[in-house]
C-alpha cells in the first residue's frame, strides 16, 4: 500500500519503508533458497575473484566447443566432469614465479584425469622462451622435485596454454592434491600473476576427468 495508507487485503497500516524493505529482502532469500532446494546458503571457503572465475569459465566453454568438434567420440554418458582450479597462491622473486593450484580431495579420490591444461595470461611477453617446471612433493622429504620441464614460447600477448595432464594425473594419487608450477621468466617479461583481486586474468587449470565407475564384484 502507499505510504500511510492501509492495506486493502488485511486492513493493517502500511509498514514503515525500512521494515518493508527488510521483509522483501528476507522474502527474496527464502524464495531463492526454496527454489534451489537448499536448506541454507552454501558456505564457500575461498572463492576466487568473480572476474577471474568468469574469465576462466568463458575460456573453458571456448575450449570445450573446440574439443567436442575435434574429438566427437568424447564421453557423452554424463560421467565426464570438468574441473576448474583457479590460482590459489602465487609468489615471485626476481626471475622465478611459483604458482599453486588446489584440487579438492573428494574429487581426486573418485575421478580419473583424461586431460588437463594450464592457462597463463601474458600482457607483455618477451622474445625468448620461458622455462616451465612442474614440481611435485619429494616422497622422501619436504622438498619439491621437478616432474617435468618445458620451454614455452609466447608470440603475442594474451592467453597461453600448456598440457599438464601427466602432472595432474600423478597428483591425484597423492595425499595433498596441490599442483605447483615454477616459471623461470627472463628480465623483460611481465609477470603472469594478477596485479590485484579485481584483475580477471588469474592463471587457472582446467581438467577433463571421468568419474571412476564403482568396482563391481560378480559372484557366481
Partner 1 sequence: GVDCGADSRMCCRQEFFVDFKEIGWEDWIIQPEGYHMNYCAGLCPLHMAGIPGLAASFHTAVLNRIKVASAAAAVDSCCVPTQRRPLSLLYYDRDSNIIKTDIPDMIVDSCGCT
Q: Which residues here bind partner 1, judged by CB under 8 A? A: 1-2, 8, 24-25, 27-29, 31-32, 35-36, 38, 41-45, 47, 50, 53-54, 57, 84, 104, 106
Half-sphere exposure of 65 (CA within 13 A, CB side): 5
Task: Let me know: does 63 contact 145? Beta carbons within 8 Å.
Answer: no
Comparing CB distances to partner 1, the nearer of 54 and 75 is 54
Q: Rounded to whole angstroms, how far apart are CA atoms 3 and 200?
A: 44
Q: How far apart (Å, rounded) are the C-alpha atoms in residues 97 and 94?
A: 8
Nearer to partner 1, 51 or 190 (CB): 51
15 vs 137, which CB is nearer to partner 1?
Answer: 15
Shortest distance, position 42 Cβ to partner 1, whole Å: 5
* Alpha helix positions (H), 38-149: 50-70, 105-108
Quote the least distance from Cβ 72 to partner 1, whole Å.
Answer: 24
Which 3 state secondary structure label does DSSP give 30?
A: helix
* Min separation Cβ 184 and partner 1, Å: 32
Q: Measured from the CB atom, is 8 or 72 closer to partner 1?
A: 8
CB of 176 to partner 1, least distance (A): 17
Q: How far apart are CA 77 and CA 62, in angstroms?
A: 21
Amino acid at each position: 500500500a502507499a505510504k500511510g495508507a492501509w492495506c486493502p487485503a488485511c486492513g493493517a497500516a502500511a509498514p514503515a519503508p525500512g521494515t518493508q524493505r527488510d521483509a522483501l529482502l528476507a522474502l527474496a532469500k527464502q524464495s531463492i533458497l526454496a527454489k534451489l532446494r537448499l536448506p541454507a546458503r552454501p558456505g564457500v571457503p575461498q572463492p576466487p575473484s568473480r572476474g577471474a572465475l568468469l574469465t576462466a569459465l568463458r575460456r573453458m566453454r571456448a575450449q570445450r566447443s573446440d574439443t567436442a568438434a575435434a574429438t566427437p567420440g568424447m564421453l557423452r554418458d554424463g560421467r565426464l566432469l570438468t574441473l576448474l582450479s583457479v590460482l590459489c597462491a602465487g609468489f615471485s622473486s626476481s626471475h622465478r614465479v611459483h604458482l599453486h593450484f588446489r584440487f579438492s580431495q573428494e574429487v581426486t579420490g573418485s575421478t580419473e584425469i583424461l586431460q588437463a591444461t594450464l592457462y597463463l595470461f601474458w600482457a607483455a611477453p618477451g622474445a625468448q622462451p620461458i622455462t616451465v617446471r612442474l614440481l611435485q612433493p619429494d616422497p622422501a622429504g619436504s622438498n619439491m622435485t621437478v616432474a617435468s620441464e618445458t620451454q614455452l614460447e609466447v608470440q603475442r600477448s594474451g592467453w597461453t596454454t600448456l598440457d599438464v595432464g601427466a602432472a595432474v594425473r600423478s597428483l591425484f594419487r597423492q595425499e595433498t592434491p596441490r599442483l605447483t608450477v615454477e616459471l623461470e621468466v627472463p628480465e623483460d617479461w611481465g609477470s603472469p600473476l594478477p596485479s590485484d583481486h579485481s584483475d580477471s586474468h588469474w592463471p587457472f587449470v582446467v581438467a577433463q576427468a571421468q568419474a571412476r565407475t564403482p568396482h563391481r564384484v560378480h559372484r557366481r
